[in-house]
Amino acid sequence: MMRSLRPTRADDAGVTLVELLVSMVILGVVMTMVANLFIAATTSSEQSRLMHESTANASNIANEVSKGIRQATTNANADGSTTPAVLFAQNERLVLISTVDVDSKVNLTGVNLQPTIVEYALDANRNLVERRWAATLTNNAWTFPDWKTATATSTRTVGGKIGPVASATLFTYLKADGITVLTPPTDPNTSLAAVADVATVRLNLNVVPVTGAGKAVVIQNDVSLANLAIDRRS
């Protein structure tokens, strides 16, 4: 039987082991680059989301707390005495009387606008919680329940989580000169004694993302209790 023979050409040799290894190395490098780009893009997107979250929460906290402080007011009692605007002042807790969210159009003639006791305090998870106690009109004077023991009329979480503030506290209390700092006692359950001297509250916010480990947003805002001398009767 005759067999046809022809010489083997160079292009019939296939892929050598060296060529295969080189191809695999190049493919591995390309895949690594693509993976790194994907991880970088994902990380950047997540960081951007967390920063947006913290910024929105910080802005909301600053606006809500500043509004309550700015509308702080003393309360005229039926016996002729006056309750100061600030009821309790500590580094991470503030309780005051405020006319926040009160519509002056529904006010009674000759009676001060209906005030509310408002508390801003951090819970165990360092979320800022707002509690309110409503007032009741008695003998042309607004009266309140004992806010230390009574159940709040409303409770809500304001904004997001607040991290520790380096070399500062959540609330700093200033006298009328805007310089002199009123320092609360070291016991967090004991209020600043000179609450009647508080003229400005400095809000030091260090808001961190609720989820993830993004960068914190820091805001400092001095809020004056400028409405204390205003007659709030209609």
| Domain-located, residue 46 | no
Residue 229 lies in a domain: no
- Nearest CA to 75 out of 147, 136, 142, 153 is that of 142
In a domain, 79, yes or no: yes
Tell me which residue of 77, 152, 79, 65 sits closest to 116, measured CA to CA: 152
pLDDT tens digits, one per residue of 24-38: 888 888 888 888 877
In a domain, 167, yes or no: yes
Residue 7 located in a structural domain = no
Residue 56 placed within a domain? no
State the residue range of the domain holding 96.
Answer: 70-224
What residues contact 17, with CB distance under 8 A and at least 6 apart?
Answer: none
Could you report the per-residue pLDDT of 159-180, keeping only the tens digit for each? 778 887 666 789 999 999 888 9
Quick check: is 210 in a domain? yes
Question: CA-to-CA distance for 145 and 147, rounded, in angstroms?
Answer: 6
Q: What total number of domains does the chain contain?
A: 1
Q: Which two tokens stand for residue 125?
A: 């998870």
* Phi, psi (degrees; rounded to nearest 5) at 202: -95, 120
> Residue 233 pLDDT more than 50?
no
Model pLDDT, residue 5: 54
Q: Is residue 187 part of a domain?
A: yes
